[in-house]
Amino acid sequence: MIALARVILIGIFILFSSIVISLLCLLRPKNPKNTYIAALMYGKVAYFLGFKVSLAGNENLPKTNAIFVCNHQSNYDVFIATNTVIENTVSVGKKSILYFPFFGLMYWLSGNILIDRSDKNKAINSLTIAQRNIKSKNLSLWFFPEGTRNYAKQLYPFKSGAFHLAYNTGVPIVPVCISLYYNKLSLNRINNGKIIIKYLPPVYVNKSAKESAKEVHLSMKENILDLEMKQN
């Protein structure tokens, strides 16, 4: 019964928020402030899911713009990871997001960047636009570098796009680690426990993107395991 109520209410929330943010976007299209407002709204849903979200490592946030890379457990990350989104940040997501009813349109209108991974030339063009925006608009970008959901099983290898951008623009990579929650989530349970989200120290990419991706991957893997121990 609790699960059904949550599903229905979350569906209503997504419909309502998509309409509100989409209307806001018509007034100021592709403005990153729209993304920040959406993130504030979606982040509150974590508590409705029965999670208590705790942020750590705020001292590691750079004073300049950055490229954030985060582990990706499930679609519920849209309610979890959004608790860490700072102002003037947009995310980079798969083109398929556009086809999610209501949410996809809002996501695109908010100024987030869609990448068509099935077409290499289009993907490169999208990243080129992102690189231009980092420099000209002082934007921060948010990536799930695994490229797919891992369902709290293991941290998949990282794609190198975010690290190429960091190298080309000189802005730091800020790793964001979310403690494992997907294997503990029950929509029928009122209290689903604590989630710890930690910003790691910024990393400046001054070597090959693939090598940097591997180093950040290892650091995040170790920190996620450490968060798991603190969580239990």
Of 191, 190, 192, whose CA–CA distance to 2 is shortest? 190
**Residue 25 is part of a domain; what is its CATH number?**
3.40.1130
DSSP letter string over 63-88? SS--EEEE----TTHHHHGGGGPPTT
Q: Are the C-beta atoms of 85 and 142 separated by less than 8 Å?
A: yes
Of 95, 102, 100, 90, whose CA–CA distance to 18 is shortest? 102
| Distance set, CA 57 to CA 64, 132, 198 (Å) | 16, 29, 5
Q: Is 30 helix (H, G, I), strand (E, B) or coil?
A: coil
Q: What is the rounded CA–CA span in Å between residue 139 and residue 118? A: 26
Q: What is the rounded CA–CA span in Å between residue 160 and residue 212? A: 9
- Produce one character per residue of 142-157: b if its CB has 16 or more CB atoms within 10 Å, e if not: bbbbbeebbebeebbe
- What integer pLDDT is reported at residue 1 of this predicted model? 83
Beta pairing partners, 91: 142
- What integer pLDDT is reported at residue 188 of this predicted model? 95
Residue 78: give the domain boundaries: 2-231
Residue 209 makes CB contacts below 8 A (sequence gap 6+) with: 160, 163, 164, 166, 167
pTM of the model: 0.94
Q: What is the rounded CA–CA span in Å between residue 164 and residue 203? A: 13
Torsions phi, psi for 164 (to 5 deg): -65, -45
How many domains, the chain? 1
- What integer pLDDT is reported at residue 99 of this predicted model? 87
Q: What is the rounded CA–CA span in Å between residue 187 and residue 92? A: 28
Tokens 């990579």 -> residue: 173
pLDDT in tens, the chain (232 residues): 899 999 999 999 999 999 999 999 989 988 999 999 999 999 999 999 999 999 999 999 998 999 999 999 999 999 999 999 999 999 998 888 988 888 988 898 888 988 887 777 777 788 888 888 888 888 999 999 998 999 999 999 999 999 999 999 999 999 999 999 999 999 999 999 999 999 999 999 998 999 999 999 999 999 999 998 876 6
- What integer pLDDT is reported at residue 232 of this predicted model? 64
